[in-house]
Amino acid sequence: MQIENLIGKDDLIVVTGGGGFIGGHLVFDLVQRGYKRVRAVDIKPIADWNQVFPGVENTQGDLQEREACDRAARGARFVFNLAADMGGMGFIETHKAECMLSVLINTNMLLAAKKHGVERFFFSSSACVYAAGKQTDANVTPLKEGDAYPAMPEDGYGWEKLFSERMCRHFREDFGLQTRVARYHNVYGPHGTFDGGREKAPAAICRKVIAAKMTRSRSIEIWGDGEQTRSFMYVDDCLYGTKRLMASDVVDPLNLGSDELVSINQLVDIVEGVAGIKLQRIYKLDAPKGVRGRNSDNTLIKAMLGWVPSIALKDGMEKTYRWIYDEMHKSIDQRRQVYR
């Protein structure tokens, strides 16, 4: 089933984390498809949102608080719960307690959805729920949904996501709230964070390569030895899969990620190719680097939804690089104007 067959154009749709990266893209997609009643909620001041769209009910609120969740869910028929305190590995390895506190968002949003009779509730989980012992080799066996148990997820952020998955399950079983859960694998693309400490590897590498070109530096710092492996999913695939899962009858958590496995060194190769530059690599071996290898097994999503993420990493990284390049140059131009 497509989402257009499930959600009417006049239904109220709530997107939490609507001022963030994936949430902003989802709000834009819904607006572009003619949905007239979209409520976007985020803790950040609206001026700081990644994207803001006219005609959307843009609301600032701290969803760790029950009252804010109650306001967010009031009158809604469908909720996409994307809100979380998170970032790249440099953030989640050093802010474990803050990441864990996102459990308040998910608890209170589920309670509010139950209270207001929300018809369907989507929760964005993460590949960080997978057991660390299955991710010790760069040549990793792709992770199947069942590999989350016995549980030993990423400390902090991963535990919070796994616990929230279970809450979704039990709210469905005990209260009849229809929940859908996707385990996102490293989503990237334009309009995302690329500096400040919360950025993920694709955006960070783009920023470093662009900065090297701008300053005529001949080197790039890489966290770890560069041989750790990941798969990265372009945001357009994430949106399509999210909507397909929301409209489906699949109630158990489902991988949503590319299975195109690359090392961080190979990711740098791709960005260097887009930039037309070759840099000396300086490896920071004591930097946060996460598990040794992680990849998505897409057997189940193909069987359940008849679809898998398919946008090639090179194509997605080129679009991401171009956007970050423009943003960095725009920032320089603005600073020059200030000092004139």
CB 85 within 8 A of CB 99: yes
d(CA 84, CA 66): 15
Where in the sequence numbering do the catalytic residues fall? 157
- Residue 188 is which amino acid? Y
* Omega of the bond leading into 150 within 30 degrees of 0 (cis): yes
CB atoms within 10 A of CB 133: 10
Helix (H, G, I), strand (E, B) or coil at 153: coil
Q: Which tokens sit at 255?
A: 């991988």
266 Cβ contact partners less than 8 Å away, ≥ 6 residues apart: none
- With the C-alpha atoms ordered 240, 246, 248, 254, is the resulting torsion angle positive or negative? positive
CB 177 within 8 A of CB 121: yes
Q: Which of 186, 227, 209, 336 is nearest to 275 (CA)?
A: 209
CB 178 within 8 A of CB 122: no
Q: Which of 179, 165, 98 is nearest to 130 (CA)?
A: 165
- Rounded CA Rg of the chain: 20
- With the C-alpha atoms ordered 199, 205, 210, 211, is the resulting torsion angle positive or negative? positive
42 Cβ contact partners less than 8 Å away, ≥ 6 residues apart: 16, 17, 18, 19, 20, 23, 49, 59, 60, 61, 83
